[in-house]
Amino acid sequence: MKTVHISILLIFISISGFAQTKILFDATKAEMAGNADWIIDADQSNLFGNESNPQQMPTPAQADVTSSTSQNYWKGALSAWAIDAVKLGYYVETLPYNGKITYGNTSNLQDLIHYDVFVVCEPNILFTTTEKTAIMNFVQNSGGLFMISDHNNSDRNGDGYDSPDIWNDFMENNPVQNNPFGITFDYEYFTEASSNIPNSPNDPLLHGNYGDVTSIEFYGGTSITLNPSQNAMAKGVVYRTGYTNTGTTGVLCAYASYGQGKVVALGDSSPADDGTGDTNDDLYDGWIQDANGNHERLIMNATIWLAQDNTAGIASLYTNPNIHFLPTTSTIRINTEGNNFYNLRITNILGQDFLHKKIQPNQNNNVKLEKNTLYFYQIKKGVTIIKTGKFVII
């Protein structure tokens, strides 16, 4: 088997090759309301009366985090998660309560285009149509989305919607595609410890860099139903006790690929809680104390998987296309060598086509692309995708 190689001259910058992995934790959906503090850090508690008011940058500075930094270095129930991410070399930020969820908005300095992973833990406000479109486009174009729900009737801000409502509305009522991930949060409320885990020795969430996951504990959570007819890539990794651990119901944690991106879904916020944060809330250490550290292993394995390039390891059984991107002023000349035919598509972040055609051997093709603009390419041999990637012209 030979791996596809793309020759891109120095006029292009490979985004994934040079940029530090960036994770954005959302705080725009009242994640701090009621008895919850699903943020990585806050210096003030003056929202909604006395709730945490997280800033964009956690303090003290993440540049000072070392391998021995404790999980309570920052003040937030998700601070241990963020500290672990920084120790891996990732960069973390918060989208504050008054931030905007956009994708492709150059005036928004925290536009999702700047991040690799977007974490939303137990949202309490519905996503707008614009926000749904932004998140969907983010995932389609190689972003990683971590969706954490909570139990039924967990409406913490009293607006009539809880996290299962909000996530299902996002997936089922967005303008891009109905239920694109093949994942639905159930409307249940249960507490349960489970070690019902599939025998999948190569699974990236169960057996990733942080170690093997053997159990999980929910303290007031809900389950997930998979819909393989909507997305055949949807997979459960932890199941409720008594359920078939290769089935589609009773799922506690699931993941899927969609477009060039990925999603992870977890049915309870308790595993992410590190017990630190707003002193007005009752917080518990579910990160390490519960399930003997399995929650940290599961969530960090999932975070690493979400942050990885979804196209890594895609290979071809065919001869390398050896496609070249050659600059000629404002025009890109594309040339293939060899005897094979390939379908090449170039789009922008809005999914608009700039080139979509069959490339013949040794044939030059011209396409005009703008400078300082992010583009995505996809190469197919027949119906098989053999390479995808992204680039910027500078």
- 96-113 pLDDT tens trace: 999 999 999 989 999 999
Where do we find the tokens 């949807």? 234
Name the residue among 49, 116, 59 with its Cα closest to residue 89: 116
Tokens of 155: 């409406």
Q: Give the chain's residues under pLDDT 50.
A: 1-18, 311-319, 328-329
Cβ atoms of 234 and 181 within 8 Å: the answer is yes
Query: Omega of the bond prior to 60 within 30 degrees of 0, cis?
Result: yes
Quote the pLDDT of residue 379.
79
CA distances 95 to 47, 137, 297, Å, are: 15, 18, 25
Task: Give the burial string for 373-382 (b: 16+ CB within 10 Å, else e).
Answer: eebbbbbbbe
Residue 164 per-residue DSSP state: H
Quote the pLDDT of residue 320.
52
Quote the pLDDT of residue 346.
84
DSSP 3-state assignment of 138? Answer: helix
Q: Return the number of other C-beta atoms located less than 10 Å from residue 330's C-beta.
A: 10
Name the residue among 129, 52, 54, 58 with its Cα closest to residue 92: 58
Name the strand (E) or helix (H) holding 357. strand 353-359
Q: What percent of the chain has pLDDT over 70?
A: 81
Quote the pLDDT of residue 15.
35
Quote the pLDDT of residue 317.
30
State the DSSP string of 340-353. Answer: --EEEEEEETT--E
Instruction: Out of 3.40.50.720, 2.120.10.30, 3.40.47.10, 3.40.50.880, select the CATH number for domain 20-307.
Output: 3.40.50.880
**Amino acid identity, position 111:** D
CA dist., res. 97 & res. 110, Å (int): 13
CA dist., res. 5 & res. 202, Å (int): 26
CA distances 66 to 29, 73, 152, 178, 351, Å, are: 31, 11, 39, 43, 40
| Predicted confidence (pLDDT) per residue in 164-200, tens digit | 999 999 999 999 999 999 999 999 999 999 999 999 9
**Amino acid identity, position 156:** R
Tokens of 56: 């964009």
Where do we find the tokens 């990637």? 389
Cβ atoms of 296 and 269 within 8 Å: the answer is no
Residue ranges of domains in the chain:
6-12+312-393, 20-307
Chain-centroid distance, C-alpha 293: 22
Cβ atoms of 104 and 72 within 8 Å: the answer is no
End-to-end CA separation in angstroms for the chain: 34
Q: Which CATH number is associated with domain 6-12+312-393?
A: 2.60.40
CA distances 228 to 14, 65, 233, 234, 246, Å, are: 33, 41, 7, 6, 12
- Give me the residues paired with residue 385 across strands: 380
CA dist., res. 115 & res. 310, Å (int): 14
Give me the sheet containing 353-359, strands edge to edge: 12-14, 384-393, 374-381, 342-348, 353-359
Quote the pLDDT of residue 47.
84
State the DSSP string of 321-336. Answer: --EEEEEETTEEEEE-
CA dist., res. 3 & res. 229, Å (int): 30
